Structure 1
Amino acid sequence: MDVERTSGMQSVDRVAAVLLSFTGADVELGVTDIAERLALPKSAVHRVLEALANWGLVAKVNERGKYRLGPRATELSLAALGSVDVRALALPVMEELRDLTGETVTLSFVLGSHRVYVAQVESRQDVRMTVEVGRRAPLYAGASGRAILMTFSPADLDRYLTQTELTPLTERTVHDDRQLREILDVDRARGYTQSLGERDPYAAAVAAPITARDDARAFACFSVCGPTARLGDEVRRSCGPAVVHAAHQVSEMLRGGW
């Protein structure tokens, strides 16, 4: 019985170690990469990866024979980051940003190739934007999604655009690959994104990414959103630094060991 327990614990340790290998800088890893890092037999690593793939925790990149985190791993991340603690951490910052700009502030998390609204602080104005918490939206459409895309590495962005059809949601949605890349270059240079009627024809927004580690891909973003009639070009530009500051505040708190 003790032998069985020991063997079971070793198996669990191996699964955990293999899964945690993907939390480093390398997005994609092969059997040999992991086996060398963990000093494990390739056959054992391969069995663990196949089991994780069956559960959707990793996904095989067929053309390279490598693996990356799968959609179920994203769900785990969302569940952890979507806890009351993180929303409670963000809420005072969101309220301050709402009071500063006068507009609704939203918090979105990445969910696979989409993002999902997880919280909002509504504007106090009679005419205001509201969002449906829990609703998903593609990353390419609108300021919030692009705030996340702007943190993708060149390879990850190439992969995303290869796998994603840029279907227009409105007549203003950016759905040309080259144009989207050009816009993201501008967004990175200034640190925030903005949109006008790209996902909702009557809504405008300014957004900035939230990261848990320096130089990491964003897992979330803040946005300030409101009616297009109120958030013209000049107003959006004036909101940009405030949104960046708010996102930076939460990022720093997370890095400090929230």
Structure 2
Amino acid sequence: MKKDGIRRKPVELHAPAEHDADARDGGVQSVDRALLLIETLAEDDEGYRLTDLAVRTGLSPSTVHRLLTTLEKRRFVQFDRSESIWYIGARSFSVGTTFLRRRSFSAQALPFLRKLRDQTRETANLAVVDDGSVMIVNRAESREIMRTVTKVGGRVPMVASGLGKAVLSTYSEDEVHAVIRRQGMPKLTAKSVVRAGELCKILQTIREQGYSVDDEEAVMGLRCVSAVVYDDRSEPLAAISVSGTTARVPVDRLPVLGKIVRDVAQELTTALGGVVPVVIRTA
């Protein structure tokens, strides 16, 4: 499932034409393909053989090999010669962490995520909005046995996640519809919200109670409770959540978790110098 949605291109049978195309467009095509390889390798910790990577990306094996050897020299990928498998490289990690350094609150949030994890015994997550999706940037894993569906760096559509809906609840109706037009309302499970009118009603409830719920809307068998972290202008900076299996997070536990998540989000907001907007709660 984690490999769904990968951008694919038609298999190109003539390697010399690829070189000619690269020359004509100043190498932009090669850059795009190299980044596609890095993105694909980053999806699977177990790595890929060259032929499998070619199939996943829709590129010819010769093109994949040429780009991988260049990326290996720059340490963006690495090659296990004993197993003939390619992995994401150390340089990709060091470049990627620049994003987190720019958003320095990620490290500051970790003690609050641990507190949230210890109070609920569920996995606590920190996420930011990036390009219309929510991206997990930090996490405190539950000590209970569970499956981690979205790893750090993973993305989920805003409309299909508790984290995303929490942030959407701070948007105006026009801004919400702009998000829907941009990314649609994907039906990831049988319980996904796929109608704009229903989503708007849910967002109003979130505004009133101060937390959102993902009730198996992104992944069957998994529930998530989220709240917004605000900046000094009372604008959404990030969102935090706890997620757990439906067996450990039954429906009657949601209000209790919602209050805990909301309170910790307010504490983190204050610690970061943010300001929680004044609203009237009904719960």
Change (3 A) 1:159 1:126: closer
Offset of residue 81 of structure 1? 5.9
| 2:117 equivalent to 1:92 | no
User: Partners of 2:128 and 2:169 in 1: how far apart?
Assistant: 14
TM-score of the superposed pair, with normalisation by structure 2: 0.59
Q: 2:245 aligns with which of 203, 217, 227?
A: 227
Q: Which residue of 1 aligns with 2:123?
A: 104
Poorly superposed stretches of 4+, deviation over 6 Å: none
Contact 1:97 1:243 in 2 (8 A): yes
What residue is the counterpart of 1:248 in the other structure? 266
Shift of 1:79: 5.6
Aligned residues: 179
1:148 has 2:167 as partner: yes
- Find the aligned partners of 2:140 and 2:226 in 1 and give their Cα distance: 14
User: Does the CA contact (< 8 Å) of 1:123 and 1:129 recur in 2?
Assistant: no
Distance 1:82 1:173, change over 3 A: farther
Aligned ranges 1:108-187 → 2 under 5 Å: 108-127=127-146, 129=148, 131-187=150-206
The 1:256–1:116 alpha-carbon spacing in structure 2 relative to 1, beyond 3 Å, is closer
Do the aligned residues in 2 keep the contact of 1:192 with 1:207 (CA within 8 Å)?
A: yes
Q: Do 1:193 and 1:208's aligned partners in 2 also have CA atoms closer than 8 Å? A: yes
**Pairing 1:197–2:221 present:** no
Q: Is the Cα–Cα contact under 8 Å of residues 157 and 183 in structure 2 kept in the other structure?
A: no
In the alignment, the residues of structure 2 paired with residue 131 and residue 102 of structure 1 have an alpha-carbon distance, to the nearest angstrom, of 18
Partner of residue 59, structure 2: none
Give the root-mean-square deviation of aligned CA atoms: 2.1
What amino acid sits opposite 1:175 in the alignment? V
Partner secondary structure for residue 137 of structure 1: strand
Partners of 2:197 and 2:149 in 1: CA distance: 31
1:117 alignment partner, SS class? strand
**1:196 positional shift:** 1.5
Q: 1:189-226, CA deviations, whole angstroms, 9 ceiling, x for partnerless residues?
A: 0000012111111210100011113432x131000000
1:215/1:88 CA distance change after superposition, 3 Å: closer
Return the alpha-carbon distance in structure 1 between the equivalents of residues 168 and 233 of structure 2.
Answer: 16
Q: Residue 210 of structure 1: SS of its match in structure 2? A: strand
Whether the 8 Å CA contact 2:230–2:274 is kept in 1: the answer is: no
SS in 2 for 1:169: coil
8 Å contact kept, 1:82–1:118: no
Letter of the 1:207 partner, please give it: S
Q: Which sections of structure 2, spanning at least 5 residues, go unmatched? A: 1-96, 276-283
Structure 2 matches for 1:25-40, cutoff 5 A?
Answer: none
Measured in 2, the distance between the counterparts of 1:202 and 1:247 equals 25
- State the percentage of identical aligned residues: 29
Distance 1:128 1:181, change over 3 A: same
SS at match of 1:92: helix
Q: Quote the offset at 1:126 in angstroms.
A: 2.5
* C-alpha distance in 2 between matches for 1:190 and 1:139: 19
What secondary structure, in the 3-state scheme, does the structure 1 residue paired with 2:160 have? coil
Q: Matched residues in 2 for 1:182 and 1:105: separation? A: 26
Instruction: Report the Cα offset of residue 127 of structure 1.
Output: 3.4
Q: How far apart, CA to CA, are the structure 1 residues paired with 2:105 and 2:117? A: 18
Amino acid at match of 1:127: M
CA distance in 1, matches of 2:198, 2:98: 34
- Within 2, Cα distance between the matches of 1:166 and 1:84? 28
Q: Verify the 8 A CA contact 1:169 1:199 in the aligned structure 2.
A: yes
State the SS of the aligned residue for 1:107: strand
After TM superposition, give the deviation of residue 136 of structure 1 in Å: 1.0
